[in-house]
Amino acid sequence: MNIVIAGAGSVGFHIASQMTDENKDVTLIDRDPARASYAASHLDCLVINEEVNNADVLKNAGIDKADFFISVTDSDEVNMIACGIVSSEFDVPTKIARVRNLDYSSLGIMKEAFLGINLIVNPEIEASRVISQTVSFGAMSDVALFEKTDVQLRNLFIDSSSILKNKSLKEIKKTLNEEFLIAGITRRDFVIIPSGETLIEENDKVHIAASQHNMEKVFAKTGKSTVPIRRVLLVGGGRISTLVARDLLRKGYTVKLIDHDYERCKHLSEIIPDALIINADISDEGVFEEERLFDNDLIISATTNQELNIISSIYAKSLGVSRAIAVVSKKNYLNIATELGIDATINPKSSTADFIIKYIRGSNIESVHSIFDGRAEVIEISIRDNTNITGIPLKDLLMPDNSLIVSVTRNFSTIIPDGNFTLKNGDSVLVIANKKSINNTLKLFSKQR
């Protein structure tokens, strides 16, 4: 498979990194010398430091042989025009563009072919969707949902008071006595796909797989019970906040939204009249007390300033706000936010990359979620006819190192399988694998007899 990617920012870099690890032929184009140089020194692919909207540059990138063209530069217009050039001048089966400007969606281009684009991805829509899902499940942690199973994946930070600290997974199963699976652990800079003997340590970040019903029991027993959420404070009046506010209002939540820009607040009061719009700077001393912002159940910090999102979330929780969600993109900040007590972090760039990677991988891939700062994935795979894995006990499958079958959904029932379980055609399987094992894992589940 040949892939040409325009844009070496976080999304383009992540997609290129994952695709090269899966032995795809990747060419990356970026006009910024610094980003191109960084990509060239960190990725095993061809990197071209040129403008993408040039037919000769695209030819030099091997566009004639490409199966996918993905344009994820910082400019919506560049992304759309680049796809238009590829569509009109070259025979590339699939063109994908990242488009941030929601005004374009009102033209209907999100729903039908436009400039030959097969898939348009909007980071703000993806991020707002994830935020709304997280709120629906109590905003207790990050939540990964899947297409054909009710199994969720959530994370739990192990602090000094956790009842899981210094216990093996076998001991934890006995202690909690619920149907769940610890699918992975982040420990400092390491990713661990655990066994029953693995010990949980303080400051670990564990990812738990279970149905919603069992997940709530597990969280309650580990000291993080569900709290009612009715009143929501949104910080920042950008596109993500606007989408989230509209969705939460439709679901019956009371919404306050605060932004420092007066003209933006006037506009927001017109387009979301059921929300209380507050024109103030969240960073001003005393604003929480003056506007009684602490009188909310949940704060969602979604400004363009990641540091402000983290600080305002932490401060709100110190004043008694029960739950906090922060929009954060930098990998280093994601772990810091969790350690500081923020319940859930939303990374728009990661959710955008996951959406595109799922599309590239093919029709039997139902969902893709990057975890552990992109060092591992949870993949939902539909088992199709003639695979080499049906009818074989899981203990006898040659699963790649650092990979694990988390759950199986069969006939609308979810199973946490043991070693004697055998897969059937039609099953939907959740698999976790670290970055280096993903390619072999995908080969195993797609290989023919």
Tens-digit pLDDT profile for residues 299-328:
999 999 999 999 999 999 999 999 999 999
User: Matching CATH topology for 145-221 and 229-321?
Assistant: no
pLDDT score recorded for residue 35: 95
Check pLDDT > 70 for residue 227: yes
Strands (E) in 269-388, as ranges, are 276-279, 298-301, 323-327, 344-346, 365-371, 376-382
Share of the chain above pLDDT 70, in %: 96
Domain boundaries of the chain, sorted by first residue: 2-121, 145-221, 229-321, 350-446
Instruction: Name the 3-class secondary structure at 426.
Output: coil
Of residues 105 and 127, the one with the higher pLDDT is 127
284, 260 contact by CB (below 8 A): no
SS3 per-residue string spanning the chain: CEEEEECCCHHHHHHHHHHHHCCCEEEEECCCHHHHHHHHHHCCCEEECCCCCCHHHHHHCCHHHCCEEEECCCCHHHHHHHHHHHHHHCCCCEEEEECCCHHHHCCCCCCCCECCECEEECHHHHHHHHHHHHHHCCCCCCEECCCCCCEEEEEEECCCCCCCCCCEHHHHHHHHCCCCEEEEEEECCEEECCCCCCECCCCCEEEEEEEHHHHHHHHHHCCCCCCCCCEEEEECCCHHHHHHHHHHHHCCCEEEEEECCHHHHHHHHHHCCCCEEEECCCCCCCHHHHCCCCCCCEEEECCCCHHHHHHHHHHHHHCCCCEEEEECCCHHHHHHHHHCCCCEEECHHHHHHHHHHHHHHCCCEEEEEEECCCCEEEEEEECCCCECCECCEHHHCCCCCCEEEEEEEECCEEECCCCCCEECCCCEEEEEEEHHHHHHHHHHHHCEC
Average pLDDT, rounded, for the chain: 90
Kind and range of the H or E run holding 218? helix 212-221
Euclidean distance between the first and the last CA atom of the chain, given in angstroms as a whole number:
22
Check pLDDT > 70 for residue 347: yes
Instruction: Name the 3-class secondary structure at 38.
Output: helix
Check pLDDT > 70 for residue 110: no
CA distances from 239 to 27, 127, 133, 379, 435 (A): 32, 10, 17, 29, 32
The architecture of the domain spanning 350-446 is 2-Layer Sandwich (3.30)
pTM of the model: 0.86
Instruction: Name the 3-class secondary structure at 409.
Output: strand
Of 52, 48, 47, the C-alpha closest to 77 is: 52
93 CB-near residues (< 8 Å, 6+ apart)? 67, 68
CATH 3.30.2290.10 fits 229-321, yes or no: no
pLDDT band per the 50, 70, 90 thresholds, residue 225: confident
User: In the predicted model, what is the mean pLDDT of residues 124-151?
Assistant: 91
Interstrand relation of 344-346 and 323-327 (parallel, antiparallel or unpaired): parallel
The architecture of the domain spanning 145-221 is 2-Layer Sandwich (3.30)
Of 73, 79, 122, 71, the C-alpha closest to 101 is: 122
Q: Which fold has domain 2-121?
A: Rossmann fold (3.40.50)
User: In the predicted model, what is the mean pLDDT of residues 7-11?
Assistant: 93
Instruction: Name the 3-class secondary structure at 139.
Output: coil
pLDDT band per the 50, 70, 90 thresholds, residue 430: very high
Of 57, 134, 197, the C-alpha closest to 344 is: 134
pLDDT score recorded for residue 447: 62
Tens-digit pLDDT profile for residues 78-93:
999 999 999 999 999 9
